[in-house]
Amino acid sequence: MELNIKGNSAIVTASSSGLGKAAAAALVKEGVNVVLNGRNSQKLDQALIELNELKGGRVISCQGDITKKEDIEKLVKTAVDNFGRLDHLVTSAGGPPAKSFVKTTEADWYNSYDLLVMSVVRLVKESLDHLKADGGGTIVNITSISVKEAVDNLVLSNSVRMTVIGLMKTLSKELAPEIRVNAVLPGSHETARIEDLINSQVEKGEFDSYQEGLAAKSKSVPLKKIGTPENLGNLIAFLSSPKSNYINGSSIVVDGGAGSSNL
């Protein structure tokens, strides 16, 4: 399907690896010029090399911490200075630490809010005028299935990410029709984090091989497989395109049917 976004430009945060990188790759394949972002310079440089090999849109990088206002300002400026426009914003962030409620500190809560919520607030504020120009643009927030169903030992993610959904829904009304805003809620996907977890379990003797561990984690998924980052990336590219021009204010679950929530 031709998505008709070739020549557009986008910022994708936390895109040096994982789901953010997959979102950036999907956009690049459609001819979108993309600014990659991450804190780790080595991972960011490697992602830049890999995505430039796709021979799609131009890819540049901007190292920075999305909890810092000045780094967000630099990120948006990099996109506009290099590409002359900003059409799409994809927000992603690493998850807060896994903890039970009783083990969290006040600092954990404030840090999680800054990482997951205030980063989006600052990114949208800084990008807004650019996204409105040239006929309008899109925002896609990558959150988590935890906003639909609480995940054991992830009290910070379960609680704080819901605020991003409230923000997304509000923005979808306030910024329309110039800007469409949606969220994607990924379940288990075969990212480096999942790979590291399974490999650790193999080392502990819980599984005989990586494939056995992957199969075990797939049992609860009706489709009998864990998602690939490309699955999510393709959806984000679609939501950023005119092909999805009547989808606004939606939270789209991507979990292979593993969830039990009716809504």
Instruction: Write down the mean pLDDT value for the chain.
Output: 95
CA dist 212 and 237 (Å) reads: 32
On whether the CB atoms of residues 101 and 22 are closer than 8 A, the answer is no
Residue 36 pLDDT greater than 90, yes or no? yes
Percent of the chain with pLDDT over 70: 100
Q: Which residue has the tokens 């796709």?
A: 54
Which three-class secondary structure state does DSSP give residue 179?
strand
Residue 197 pLDDT greater than 80, yes or no? no
Residue 139 confidence class, pLDDT cut points 50, 70, 90: very high
Q: Which domains does the chain have, with CATH numbers?
A: 9-188+228-252 (3.40.50.720), 190-226 (no CATH)
Residue 1 pLDDT greater than 80, yes or no? no
Residue 260 confidence class, pLDDT cut points 50, 70, 90: confident
Report pLDDT digits (tens) over 42-69.
999 999 999 999 989 999 999 999 999 9
Give the count of beta carbons closer than 10 Å to the beta carbon of residue 12. Answer: 31
Amino acid identity of residue 46, one-letter, is Q
CA dist 103 and 37 (Å) reads: 31
DSSP conformation class of 36: E
Amino acid identity of residue 106, one-letter, is E
For residue 109, the model assigns a pLDDT of: 98
CA dist 28 and 229 (Å) reads: 15
CA dist 226 and 3 (Å) reads: 26
Give Cα 240 to chain centroid, integer Å.
Answer: 13
**Average pLDDT estimate for 82-104:** 95
